[in-house]
Each structure stands twice: as C-alpha cells, then as structure tokens.
Amino acid sequence: MTPEPKPLLTPEAVAAAQTNIAKLIAELRRVILGKEDMIDDVVAALLARGHVLLEGLPGLGKTELVKALSRLLSLDFRRIQFTPDLLPTDITGSHILQERDGRKEFTFHQGPVFTNLLLADEINRASPKTQAALLEAMQERRVTTFGETRVLPDPFFVLATQNPIELEGTYPLPEAQLDRFMVKVEIVGVDQSVLEQILMTRVHGEPPPLDAVLSLDGLQRLFTAVDAVHLPRAVANYISRLVAATHPKAPGAPEPVRSFIRYGSSPRGAIAIGAIARGLALLRGKPNVGFEEVRRVALPALAHRLVLDYAAKLEGWDGRRVIEAILQAVPDVERGLPQTLEAVKS
Amino acid sequence: MTDLPASVRPILRRLARRVAVGLFLEIWPRWAVGSFLIAGTAALVCRIFFSNAAPFLPFLWLAPLISIVPVIIVCARRAYHPIEVAALADSLSGGQGMLLTLLETSDPTWARAAALENLKRLRMPRLRAWSRLGPILASAIFLVTALLVPQRMITGPRTTVLANDVVADLKTTVEELKKQDLLTPEEQKSLEQEIERIRKDALERVDASSWEAADAMREKIAASLNQKEDALNWAQESLARYAAAAQAGKAPTAAESDELANAIQKLAQSGMLDDAPSDVKKMLGSEDAIAGGTFQLPKDPAALKKVAAQLAQHLGDRSRRFGELRQLPREAGRFDPAEFGEFNYEKQPDGDGDPGRGGISRGRGDAELTWGDESLPFDRFKSVALPPGSVRGPDDWAPVAALPGAPKEGSERTFTSTGMQFSGTAGQSAWRRTLAPRHYSAVKRYFENAESR
C-alpha cells in the first residue's frame, strides 16, 4: 500500500537548506582544492547520515577533509590510526579496574568511537577482529561491552580511509563490511593548476582557518529537510532496476554483469542511493529527487557493493566500470518510447 | 492531469498522442505482415487445392484492414498510462522529476518551478516507422504472387463426374454405332482411344476446350458416317445403273464398270463390306484386293448379276441400319441423329447448335488440318448433260431476269491485269461488272464440251 505523500518542502525551506549546504561546500572547497565532486559526494552522504569510505593515495587531503568537516559542523572529532596491533577495545573502549573510595571497581573508559565524526585512517591495516568492532558500531550505532550497551552520540559518522597501494600486511575489508559504507569515494590526484594554487595559497600546506557554518541544531534541521525530499515512484523504480541489474541472474542484467559479477548489491544499495540522491537534490535546490540525481550518485553508492568474479580482475574490470555499464544499459523509465519513435534533443 | 499547470497539459496530451501513434505503428506492422503471409498462404492453398474458392480470393486484400481490429485491442491493453507518459516527458526534458512530483503530490507550490520550463521546450519524438513498414511491402508482394498463380483444377469426384459427362454421349454414340455394325474394329479402337484422351484431359481441367474437343469428335464421327453413307449411296446408285444396264440387256460400259469398282472400293475402305456375305467377298476377290482396289468384277454376266444382287441386298441392309440410326430417339443415350445434318438431307442452319454441343458445322477453327479427307469427288460435281434447249450460246446471252446483282454483258475490252479489270468497281457495282473475255471463252468452251459428250 502506497503511503500518503507528504507535503513538499516549501521553496523557502529548500532555499534555506540549500544556502546552508552551499556554505558548507564552499568552505570545504576552500580547504580541499580541485575535488568538487568528492566534496559533493561526501556532503551528500553525510546529509543522508551515512558513513563514507575514502580511498586514495597518501597526501591527497583525506584527513584534512574530515578535520574541516568537524570544524565546519561543530562536531566532535576523533581520529584512529589503524595499525595491525590495534585491538577492538582500543576502538570501543574498555573496563579498567580502578580504586575509588577504597573500593576497587571496573570503570568503563569510552573509546574513540564515542564521537560525532570518527576518522578511521587506513582501516585495512587493522586485523579483521578490530575492523569488525568498528563496523558493528557503525551499523548499530551502539557499543556493547561486558553485556552493557552504550549508545553512540548522534550524529555519528565514520569516514574511513584506505590506501590502494602498499597492500602487504593489510587486511582488505570483506564485502559484507564494505556494504556498511554508504559511499566509497575514490580520491584521485590533483592536476597542475590545483598544485599551483595550493602552493600559492598555503604555507606548508596548512589549510585556511575555518569557522563553523552549521550548529548541531542546524545540522539536525538539514537532516529533517533531506528526509522530506520527495522521491517519485518512477525514480524509485529506476533505482530498483539499477540495483536489480547488478545481479548476474537478473533478466535485464547487461553482459558485463553476467560475465564479471558473482554477487550483486544488497537492498542497502538501493536505500543508500535513495538517501544520497535526496541529499544531492536538496543541495541542488530541488524538493524532489530526479533521474539525474540517481545517475549521479549510483556510481559511488554501488561500486563497492559488488562482489567481482576472478575473471573481472583478469579482464581489468572493477566495480566502477561495471556500474558505468549498468547505467548505460538501464533506461530511466521502465517503459520507454515505442521503437517507432526517436527522442529529439531539446 | 488536472493538477498540473495549464501550460504543461497540452504538451503531455501531444506526447500521449504521439506515443499512441508510435505504439500503433510498432504493433500493427507485425500483424499486417502476418495477415499478408496468412492470406498469401491461403491463396496458394486455394489455388492448388480448392478451385471453388477462386472467386473469393480477391477479398484476401482486406486481411491487413481486418488485422487492425486485434491491433486496436492490443494497443488498448498496452496503452501508456498517464503516469508513464509523464515519466517519459520528465526523462526527455532532463530527468528532474518535478513533473512526476507534481503529479504525485498535487502540490501547487512548485507549479512555476524552473524544471517545468524545460518541459515547455520539449520536442516531440520523431516517428521512425519506415523500417517497420518495409516488411509489409514484401509480404504484400507475396500475396500478389500467390494470387497470380494460375488456378489448378483438381481431380476430385466432382471433376470426374464432369469429365465423364463430357464423354458420355460420345461413348453412347460409339456403342450405338458398334451395335449397328457401322464401325470397323480399327475405327472403334481409334474412337475409344480418342474418347479416353478427351476424358483424361477433362479430368485435369474441365473448361470450354473439353467440350469443344467432344464436339469436334462428334463432328468427326458424323463426317465419317456421312462418308460411309455417301459411299453406300454411291454404291447403291452405281449398282442400280449397272443392274439396269444388265437388265436391259446392254453390256455395262467401261465408265459404269469403273464407277461401280470405285464405289465398291470406297465401300471397302469405309468398312461397309466387312460384314458382307462371304460369297460377295469371294466373288470380288480377297479382302486386301477389295480394299486395295485391285479386285476384279466377275466378267461372267450371271456371276456379275449375282454379285450385284447380293451386294444390293447387303447395301440395302446397311442402308436400313442408317435409317434405324435416324429413328433413335433423341434422349436415348443422348445419341442425336439430328446433329448429323446430312442424314436428314435437310437444309441445316449454318451456325451454332445447342449450347455445349459446339455447333460450328465446319468444325473447330483451331482444328488440325488434315489432308486426304476431302469430300469424295462423286455425285456433287459430276457433269450432267443439260437438257436440250437450255444450252445457250455465249454469243446471244440474254438476261433471264433483271436482278440487281446479275452480271451484264459488255463489249470486249483488253485488260492488262485483273486489278484493272475490276478497277473502279466497289460494293454493289461489283455485281454489275462486265464479264471478262477469258471467262467468256471458258464458258463457251464448257458448253462446247458438253455438246460433244
């Protein structure tokens, strides 16, 4: 049964939200030069209250981005440098035996996960057990130790980073764990003009000072506005067809999917696309999600959720390339024009 | 769609109409091609197996029109829902989703959104149906080809009945003639073979040519019977004169003997002597001699008289049989002696007879030319001495009657050619032209010969 459609955001509400988001993005672009798309993806994911996996070579501004976000959003920020000897309790916290008033008792000391914005640097360096501790916290937004459950702060974001090189001694995140990240953003290097700008505007690469642009309340209002963005049924149908096409046995799956994908995306992928597309629509000043937003966010939202076949590695296919093929093959509307009609570009 | 801005509704209506036309042109060609192929196959089957359906085959051209009915039903079932049309419009105008949102939420707040401005600039999709219509032409050519295939008349029980009906009266005729011993075994065999050939041809195809073949054969039989009767009559007359001469005590002249011999030979060739008394045959010689014309009439008057008497009796019997043939009722076995004009010696109208019986008294126009079957040179063109007083000299011709067409005598003139001779004459004046001198001398020579005879 289709729920009653909620009233659309008013133009004033959309304008106000767009203004706040634009300020945030503008400030981030002052810190991270030459990566507009990456910033948009991260902001959209944050507005959708999702976790972000950043993959890129060292020195491309991953940590600076997270630090800037924490400053601009007035959020509590913690950083964990993942190493092979990191223990789960180093993330979640542990009970420590303390003497107080002549009595010895266990006291829980919160781990760095108890924050608003957590930067998990080089998450693939820690052991799977440690990774699981963080990922459980990401999913549940709570921590359970010694039978006691503690809720994490709200909002709670994890921005994890991965180094695509130096894979010796690392523990790649399993696919089930990757699914918990709403988007995976690949950070590429900067071009010459951006380097020049960095050199001219930064001393020792230090970012400019930043002031908060949004309070916690403002952020909560943004979250509410994003949730109110309308998702038309036809667009939801498009999202569902895209996700369904990632499965090799699906009827409409394109050839690369049938050849190189072992397992497709879970429903979390469709939910992630819908959520991020809402954030992107609001960022663009729209009260609704359109086909264009879905096409824009499908790649970062789905690429890391596919389980590739060994043949994909041999042929040089990765998740991004497969998603690009799916976007080419799956049309916007389920029932397109009759074959006797040809669209004319306006 | 009443919740949409007024500026958008006409665009969506136009798109809906264009999509409906496109859908129709997507579905109908397949049905049209299928209907043409089915019609063409049906036409081929009817052409080969069902000749009775030939008059109805042109109606097969209605097949593609009839196929529109199920196409309309299919189009109605597959018609685009207004939401689907709106989704198409939204996608074609940039995919902003605003149109779909307005349709679903009916919120007028965003009726003037910038996204709807793109919709106003939406260009209708172009029709590209020619590739779909091409196969229709090919299938139509198939139907045309099938309709141009000649109709095959199948051999079925009805056709067999028809074929038998074509030759039924011929068979009856031959049976009657055989019963009357008017056919030699060779003639009978030849006729039966010919009848069977006609019947087999009629089994393949019953049309006018079958009936014409039967009519031609009927005329051939009639002509053969006429020949036989003519030979019989001639022989009887010759025999009568011969007998009269013998009775008068005069020796038959050589001409009379020759005439009688020729008549007997003709009788033998026509098979009329096959069942003659053995005495007659013995007296005339061997059968081969009789048929070859090398027989000899007995020189002994008594024997000659006996031969003549027995031959006359035999010929009388044969004549009686011819008479019996004439008496056969018209409906009995469909043997119609009245068709043999010479039997009754009545003036038969020269023209068509009854329908289905041919009626061209001179035979079929495309009948095979045969030589040697000309009418026997007897009694028609025999010279007969004119009675005295009726011979007129060509010098003093006088008109017997003033007829408009009678030639009138004119002065002799010298002409160089026949063309000049009759030049200047046309129409009725041709009947009044002067008799040419060489005709003049030919007529004169004729009458001079008659007098010397």
Q: Is B407 helix (H, G, I), strand (E, B) or coil?
A: coil
Give phi and psi for A96, each to the nearest 5. Answer: -120, 135
B108: which chain A residues are within 8 Å (Cβ-Cβ)? none
Decide if B220 contacts B229 (C-beta within 8 A).
no
Q: Which of A29-38, A259-268, B438-447 has the lowest mean pLDDT?
A: B438-447
Contact A230 B132 (CB under 8 A): no
* Structure ipTM: 0.82
Cα A226 from chain centre: 15
Give B189's Cβ-side CA count (13 Å radius). 3
Which residues of A fall within a CB distance of 8 Å from B107? Answer: 7-8
Number of H helices, E strands in chain B: 17, 1
Domain-wise residue ranges, chain A: 229-331
Question: Whole-number mean pLDDT of chain A?
Answer: 88
DSSP string covering A61-78, please?
SHHHHHHHHHHHTT--EE
* Model confidence, pTM: 0.62
Alpha helices in B50-129 (DSSP H): 63-66, 68-77, 82-92, 98-105, 114-120
Name the token pair of A105. Answer: 């008792």
pLDDT digits 0-9 by tens, B216-240: 888 888 888 887 888 888 888 887 7
Q: What CATH class does A229-331 carry?
A: mainly alpha
**Residue A3 contacts B, CB cutoff 8 Å:** no
**CA-based torsion, B103, B108, B110, B113: positive or negative:** positive
Classify residue A34 by burial, with Cβ atoms within 10 Å: 0-12, 13-18, 19+.
Answer: middle
Rounded Cα–Cα distance for residues B321 and B272 (Å): 11
Cα–Cα nearest to A243, from A308, A140, A322, A184: A322
Please judge whether A10 and B109 are an interchain contact, meaning their C-beta atoms are less than 8 angstroms apart.
Answer: yes
**Taking CB atoms and an 8 Å cut-off, how many pairs form between chains A and B?**
119
Pairing of strands A77-81, A117-121: parallel
Q: What is the pLDDT of residues A256-307, one digit of tens each?
A: 999 999 999 999 999 999 999 999 999 999 999 999 999 999 999 999 999 9
Residue A301 parent element (H or E): helix A291-302
Contact list in B for residue A290 (CB cut-off 8 A) is: 90, 94-98, 115
Sign of CA dihedral A331, A336, A337, A340: positive
Query: Where are the domains positioned within chain B?
Result: 9-148, 157-225, 227-344, 394-452
pLDDT at A167 over 80: no
Residues in chain B: 453
Paired strand residues for A93: A110
Beta-carbon contacts of residue A60 (< 8 Å; ≥ 6 apart): A187, A188, A189, A190
Any residues with CB less than 8 A from the CB of B243 and at least 6 apart, and which? B305, B308, B309, B312
The strands making up A77-81's β-sheet, listed across from edge to edge, are A77-81, A117-121, A157-162, A52-56, A183-187
Contacts of A333 in chain B (CB under 8 A): 84, 87-88, 91
A107 with A65: CB under 8 angstroms? no
Reported as a single tens digit per residue, the pLDDT across B74-111 is 999 999 998 899 999 999 888 888 888 988 888 878 87
Rounded CA separation A42/A52 (Å): 7
Shortest Cα distance, chain B CAs vs residue A320, angstroms: 23
**Tens of pLDDT, residues B319-340:** 887 777 766 654 444 445 445 5
Interface contact A18, partner B, CB < 8 A: no
pLDDT at B364: 59
Amino acid at B404: P
